[in-house]
């Protein structure tokens, strides 16, 4: 059954990225909680077809019905929305692995936010996000409300030790319990052959990798390289909260990582290299939580450079907390 699009949606200009306008007309068919969004016309970035069909689901029954029609292999891109080119890189890799089986979730997960964090401030841009996913060729968009993900009476949470200890686990108590719980549910709900996560949140990638291995979840966890602006700043949904002056300073985080890596390769003691990098950030107005050389898999701090290793950094600039890392 075809129904009229909601007010303001027909012939509305949207953006498939921050700079590509898209003129859309939507025919929306609704059945058992499944919404079919068909793009009839538009100029889309990286799109070879003139039309796309994407199923949007908002409850478990509708998700299962949609997945029953989705061919294998299947790949999951789990997001909290406010999508950018980094997320689109995940979708592109998902398409490479599962050309007709890409599932993307948008869910701002309350369990991974602390009581004084930015859950209510986190950007929610559903219409723009769906336009980007549709343009990128996503097959199923899973947008559960909180009550569908965490129904009344839910009493189970997932705790991961190992790579979840220290760094974000120490600065944000309970954060990785929330991440592990929602990721476990998403993997169980969508049963993907692969799930893709951005390397910008390297500790999260290692936590999810450990989780899948420990719980015998038959999904391959695929890290995807960090996407950066030309000045080196790692893309993040929270970057939009930076002021103009803060945005000018923000690339220093990546520059400090690169400088620290050079010092370590040149033989500077780890403690000195870490301290020098943190001091550089403080001198420019950042408040660093940590800058540390770690084992890339276990995230245990290293006293000497060895392979494989990563340098992790988290620093606050004004009201925005910036995370980044590089291999060294």
pLDDT tens by residue, 144-167: 999 999 999 999 999 999 999 999
pLDDT at residue 80, rounded to an integer: 87
Which of 9, 36, 38, 87 is flagged as catalytic?
87
pLDDT at residue 128, rounded to an integer: 95
Asked if 172 and 114 count as a contact pair (C-beta separation under 8 A), the reply is yes
Q: What is the CATH number of domain 2-224?
A: 3.40.50.620
Backbone angles phi, psi at 95, to 5 degrees: -65, -35
Catalytic-residue membership of 87: yes
As given in the structure block, the two tokens for residue 325 are 């890392």
Mean pLDDT for the stretch of residues 71-99? 96
Mean pLDDT for the stretch of residues 69-97? 96
Return the CA Rg of the chain: 21
Positions of CATH 3.30.1300.10 in the chain: 237-327
pLDDT at residue 69, rounded to an integer: 95
pLDDT at residue 17, rounded to an integer: 34
- DSSP labels, 255-293: HHHHHHHHHHHTT--HHHHHHHHHHHHHHTT-EEEEEEE
C-alpha distance from residue 93 to each of 74, 137, 198, 274, 323 (Å):
12, 12, 11, 33, 22
pLDDT category of residue 52 using cuts at 50, 70 and 90:
low
Q: Which of 173, 177, 195, 23 is nearest to 103 (CA)?
A: 195
- How far is Cα 198 from Cα 175, in angstroms, rounded to an integer? 17
Q: Which of 76, 86, 85, 136 is nearest to 106 (CA)?
A: 76
Q: Which three-class secondary structure state does DSSP give residue 309? A: strand
Q: Which CATH architecture has domain 237-327?
A: 2-Layer Sandwich (3.30)
H-helix or E-strand containing 202?
A: helix 202-214
pLDDT at residue 316, rounded to an integer: 97
Indicate if the pLDDT at residue 29 is higher than 80: no
pTM for this predicted structure: 0.82
Quick check: bond before 151 cis, omega within 30? no
Indicate if the pLDDT at residue 8 is higher than 60: no
165 Rama sector, left if φ>0, alpha if ψ -120 to 50, beta otherwise: beta
pLDDT tens by residue, 251-294: 999 999 999 999 999 999 999 999 999 999 999 999 999 999 99
- How far is Cα 167 from Cα 206, in angstroms, rounded to an integer? 13
Positions of CATH 3.40.50.620 in the chain: 2-224
Indicate if the pLDDT at residue 32 is higher than 50: no
Who's near 72: CB < 8 A, 6+ residues apart?
98, 101, 193
- How far is Cα 80 from Cα 107, in angstroms, rounded to an integer? 5
More confident residue, 301 or 22: 301
pLDDT category of residue 38 using cuts at 50, 70 and 90:
very low
Q: Which three-class secondary structure state does DSSP give residue 121? A: coil
pLDDT at residue 44, rounded to an integer: 28
Query: Quick one: what percent of the chain has pLDDT higher than 70?
Result: 84
- How far is Cα 294 from Cα 290, in angstroms, rounded to an integer? 11
Mean pLDDT for the stretch of residues 62-85? 96
């Amino acid at each position: 059954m075809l129904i009229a699009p909601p007010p303001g949606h027909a012939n509305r200009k949207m953006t498939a990225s921050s700079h590509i306008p898209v003129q859309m007309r939507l025919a929306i068919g609704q059945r058992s909680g499944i919404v079919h969004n068909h793009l009839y016309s538009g100029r889309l970035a990286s799109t070879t077809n003139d039309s796309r069909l994407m199923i949007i689901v908002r409850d478990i029954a509708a998700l299962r019905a949609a997945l029953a029609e989705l061919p294998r292999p299947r790949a999951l891109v789990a997001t909290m929305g406010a999508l950018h080119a980094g997320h689109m890189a995940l979708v592109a890799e998902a398409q490479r692995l599962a050309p007709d089986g890409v599932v993307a979730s948008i869910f701002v997960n309350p369990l991974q936010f602390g009581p004084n964090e930015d859950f209510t401030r986190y950007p929610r841009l559903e219409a723009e996000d769906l336009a980007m996913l549709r343009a990128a060729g996503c097959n199923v968009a899973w947008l559960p409300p909180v009550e569908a993900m965490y129904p009344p009476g839910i009493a189970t949470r997932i705790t991961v030790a190992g790579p979840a200890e220290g760094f974000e686990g120490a600065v944000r108590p309970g954060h990785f319990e929330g991440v592990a719980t929602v990721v476990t549910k998403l993997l169980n709900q969508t049963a993907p052959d692969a799930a893709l996560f951005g390397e910008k949140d390297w500790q999260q990638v290692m936590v999810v990798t450990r989780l899948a291995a420990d719980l015998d979840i038959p999904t391959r966890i695929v890290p995807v390289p960090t996407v950066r602006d030309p000045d080196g700043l790692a893309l993040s949904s929270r970057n939009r909260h930076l002021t103009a002056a803060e945005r000018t300073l923000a690339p220093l985080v990546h520059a400090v990582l690169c400088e620290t890596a050079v010092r370590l390769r040149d033989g500077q003691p780890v403690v000195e290299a870490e301290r020098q990098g943190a001091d550089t950030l403080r001198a420019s107005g950042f408040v660093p939580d940590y800058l540390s050389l770690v084992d890339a898999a276990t995230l245990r701090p290293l006293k000497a450079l060895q392979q494989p290793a990563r340098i992790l950094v988290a620093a606050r600039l004004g009201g925005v907390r910036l995370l980044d890392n590089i291999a060294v």
